[in-house]
Structure 1
Amino acid sequence: MNRYMKLVHMEISRFWKLYVVLFAVTLLVQCGGVLMAARDYMSRRQHILETELLTDAQYVVKHGAFNLYTAMMDASMWIVAPIALSAVTLLLYTVFIWYREWMGKNSFIYRLLMLPTARRNIYLAKLTAILLLVLGLVGFQLAILPIEQLICRMSVPQALSDPVSLLEMIRYYYIFVVLVPNHLTDFLLLYGTGTALVILLFTIVLLERSYRLKGIIAGILYLIVVSLILIAPLYLYDYQTSFLHFDLYLYPMESLTIEMVLILIIGLISLWISLYLLQKKVTV
């Protein structure tokens, strides 16, 4: 366990510089977007007041108040862009976290595989590191909400604002509904699917590292088979019309349950294949 924790620490420490960059980009871009939305709101108010004699209360009734929710909706691109950037970066790093070991003349993989610890600890450490990095970015996104809330309050007079609680933001803003699902089932489905995806990518990488060109072909075929298996419950063939119909014979909850079971099975099979390859096939 001690060696496993050290490996996890090593994997996270190797990513920390890029991690800080993602934090900084997210903070600056989103806060800038909120500030721009606030200024646009005040600019529209000023323009309307030049043609309509309205008090602040009348303006709010007629044109709506301002708060963090409206700011994020108006600046949606500035909110989503850094989140998408972080997601793509971590997705690419999920593959690179293995290939970096073979880079350079003095490949680090030599020392890594010769450590006096089970090879599965190397695998589990990389998997744990990716999951912790994902949760860390989600946590940081929630942590900066008070800062964005403060920007809203400082940029727009209180008479024109309609404060929204941070809990309401997390519960109703569409990005946070995805990142932090309100129901346990949705949370397990989302992050369980994410974990299975990471394991699947690890499997494809280890197939390539084990068999090179044949491994690439095997990885592509494995990905196609997995995709077909996951799609199959969503489409059932209707022999009367000769067409594929979406959810023709299954209730939504039944389809969801089947998908969760399939994802679990695929994740476990991929995990077993990965550990077998790392233990028996990956050599230096």
Structure 2
Amino acid sequence: MGMNLHAQDFQGKAVYQSKTQVNFDFGNRNIPEDRKKEMMERIKKANEKTFILSFDKTASIYKEEEKLEQPGERGGGRGPRFGAMAGTDGDLYKNIKEQRYLIKNELLGKIFLIDDELETLEWKMGSDSRKIGNYTAFKATATKTIKRPNMSAIFRRPGIGGQDNEEKEKEAEFTIKEVEIVAWYTPEIPINQGPGLYWGLPGLILAVNDDITTIVCSEITMNPSEKMEIKAPSKGKKVSQAEYDEISQEKMKEMRENFRNRGGRGGGRPN
């Protein structure tokens, strides 16, 4: 490879394509098929993204690449987005040395700074390998408990007569499940980084997937000519991930109530 990775100041940039499959349950609202199709298309588009991971030896920043709106694209493919609700929508800073992550997020015009410990997954190394671009990547798997907002619940109508069972409501807002994570990492770039909150393998993670999201690296630039600044975000109200989740859950509740109060009819489009 001829790369001097032992140099103190090496940097790199990896571009990732991320696709999330969202099964949106329209419940029993009578929406015409073509409208449903259009909504599903928009949700699908909103959940196909490009991210850039800028990294050095100890830290990285993972951020979504801003898409330019295509002419004639209504609302720029805005549909319910998983990240926005799960509190991983801002730039994500991961410091491997300190095993901490920071995310600066805006919620309701307020800036929050999520500051928490990186989760350590118990990776099991496999012997399978595959080529990703010019790199040889090896397989590793781990089990992770994933908590996700349940998009359908936001726009679901309450039960008959509006007498909703509180517990059922709560449970519907999030789904929590154990998921197998499959990652492919390359020892040719010997750093413990990866896309999203993934890290902890003896090489850069080039591809990773859970039950609904697939993230694959499409290009890597080592030591780009332009020096990058990989520094932790510092502005915003400091909260832990759990605190942030609670605040955004409250937010979802409000959204849902507003949606219902508008009658939840086809006319009130969720933006």
Q: TM class, shorter-chain normalised? A: under 0.3
Greater radius of gyration (CA): 1
Normalising by structure 2, what TM-score?
0.27
